[in-house]
Amino acid sequence: MNDYFHYRQDQLCAENVALNDIAQNFGTPCYVYSRAALTDGYRQFAEAFKSREHLICYAVKANSNLAILNVFARLGAGFDIVSGGELSRVLAAGGAANKVVFSGVGKSEAEMRQALEAGILCFNVESAPELDRLNAVAGSMGKVAPISLRVNPDVDAKTHPYISTGLKQNKYGVAYTEALALYLKAAAMPHLRITGMDCHIGSQLTQVSPFIAAAEKILALADQLAAAGIKLEHLDLGGGLGICYDDETPPSIAEYAQAVLGALQGRAEKLIVEPGRVLVGNAGVLLTRIEYLKHGEEKNFAIVDAAMNDLMRPALYDAWHAILPLQKSVAATQSFSVVGPICETGDFIGHERELAVAAGDALAVMSAGAYGMSMSSNYNTRPRAAEVMVDGDAVHLIREREKVAQLYAAEKIIG
């Protein structure tokens, strides 16, 4: 819980709106976001970095709903994208192309063309063959592509292995030891213009030290480049700042910024950061309703209408999300496994949760704003959830619940 999701007279609310009313009016499963929480997170970032020239490029993959992108675009955000699809979303949401950085190890020619056409700020290039391809694509269009090399600093982010990206054995970025030679190669390519250097070491980091270790390696390399005659305009230190799901104690945005600013003291380059989770994670919840309570021989199950297709994080990373009743009760609690209807043992939202609930009650899965809806699927032909944004007293539907017929509309029977 936080300032934006809180109990008021035993009713869990988003800002001024009871979530039970939203569950009733829009159905479940349903993602609910707080506009004030989104705005507040962004403003904290902007405030914390205001002493130097910077650009906050929201990592679109964390939650790519147009309404959310639009809230950030209005606040002045740039965007970190990893596909042509995400670029289309950013532009459809009113984002500025010249504030977009394009990360990812597998950019296709079509994606490069689309991004060059749009006029993005920078390609975060992740390999030598990508440099060759980008140079060729830009040349064929009579353009010059602005580039940064994503350098793999080989720093342990001390997070879940699936979301750790800055180690030598990860697929991301160019090897630290090869980066200088690649910069020299890029400098000689006629359709590339070197503008920066970037790194991203992982997600859900709960300490500042790995960020600083990575920044120091990046700065040392930038100095070597300067000595070789390549001057960078910006340094992009990626995203990765963690949030509190349970009892984690990640640094605050201000503490993180202070450490980063300290490491960059005396440097002229513009700073770019790519936060995702920290801007949206605790700004969203997933509402779900209990279909059945099932009392097994060893365990009690609360079978709910949200499943791993709606929120994949527990199944994929064994991630922990708080589960709260929308209406607080004084009845005695029991321990439940909260599970979905999908035919997979991995289909759970949370195990061993103490809840005082009855069938038909609605629950909120907390901290679900990041990598919830954006990782959802249609597994078991389940339409994706509705999404709603609360703004003070107002409630806006920002994505309709999918209809089953939409799910197979593109399929053909061959007879």
Q: Does 277 bind ligand LLP (CB under 6 A)?
A: yes
**Residue 36 near residue 15, CB atoms below 8 Å:** yes
- Which pair of structure tokens corresponds to residue 254? 């201000």
Question: What value, to the nearest 5°, has the Cα angle with vertex 384 and ends 370 and 39?
Answer: 30
Tell me if 234 contacts ligand LLP by CB under 6 A: no
Region for residue 376 given its phi and psi (left: phi exceeds 0; alpha: psi -120 to 50; beta: otherwise): beta
Site for ligand LLP contains 59 (CB under 6 A): yes
Furthest-apart CA atoms within the chain: distance in Å: 72
282 binds ligand LLP (CB under 6 A): no
Site for ligand LLP in 156-185 (CB under 6 A): 163, 165
The percent of the chain in helix, strand and coil, each rounded to the nearest 5, is: 35, 25, 40
Based on the shown chain and the rule CB under 6 A, indicate whether residue 100 belongs to the binding site for ligand LLP: no
Q: Which of residues 355-374 bind ligand LLP (CB under 6 A)?
A: 371
What's the distance, Cα to Cα, between the start and end of the chain in Å? 54
Give me the amino acid identity at 221: L
* H or E element at residue 11: strand 11-14
User: Position 97: which residue type?
Assistant: A
Least distance to ligand LLP, CB of residue 266, Å: 26
* From 17, 19, 30, 62, residue interacting with ligand LLP (rule: CB under 6 A): 62
Among 146, 210, 238, 251, binds ligand LLP (CB under 6 A): 238
Residue with tokens 């995400």: 86
Nearer to ligand LLP, 241 or 395 (CB): 241
344 phi, psi to nearest 5 deg: -150, 135
Tell me if 71 sits within 8 A of 283, measured CB to CB.
no
Residue 19 and residue 287 in contact, taking contact as beta carbons nearer than 8 Å: yes
Query: Which CB, 114 or 374, lies closer to ligand LLP?
Result: 374
Binding segment for ligand LLP (CB under 6 A), chosen from 85-93, 106-114, 226-234, 269-277, is: 269-277
Q: Is 343 a catalytic residue?
A: yes
Residues 371 and 394: their CA atoms lie apart, in Å, by: 25
Of 223 and 248, the one with the shorter C-beta distance to ligand LLP is 248
Min dist. Cβ of residue 276 to ligand LLP (A): 3
Indicate whether 200 belongs to the interface with ligand LLP (CB under 6 A). Answer: yes
Burial of 331 (0-12, 13-18, 19+ CB in 10 A): exposed
Choices 13-21, 69-77, 188-196, 268-276 (CB under 6 A): range interacting with ligand LLP:
268-276
We find the least distance from the C-beta atom of residue 415 to ligand LLP, in angstroms, to be: 40
Segment interacting with ligand LLP (CB under 6 A) among 25-33, 130-138, 186-194, 276-284: 276-284
Check residue 239 for interaction with ligand LLP (CB under 6 A).
yes
Catalytic residue among 30, 57, 199, 343: 343
Which residues are within 8 A (CB) of 381 and not within 5 positions of it... i.e. 6 or more apart?
A: 404, 407, 408
Residue 203 sits in the site that holds ligand LLP (CB under 6 A): yes
> If binding is defined by CB under 6 A, does position 340 make contact with ligand LLP?
no
Stretch that binds ligand LLP, among 86-94, 226-234, 235-243, 341-349 (CB under 6 A): 235-243
Is residue 45 part of the contact set for ligand LLP (CB under 6 A)?
no
Query: Is there a contact between 339 and 348 (Cβ–Cβ < 8 Å)?
Result: yes
Q: Which helix (H) or strand (E) holds 280?
A: helix 277-280
Rounded to whole angstroms, the Cα distance separating 263 from 194 reads: 23
Stretch that binds ligand LLP, among 45-53, 71-79, 238-246, 260-268 (CB under 6 A): 238-246
Residues with catalytic annotation?
A: 343
Residues in touch with ligand LLP (CB under 6 A): 59, 62, 80, 103, 163, 165, 200, 203-204, 238-241, 274-278, 313, 317, 371, 375
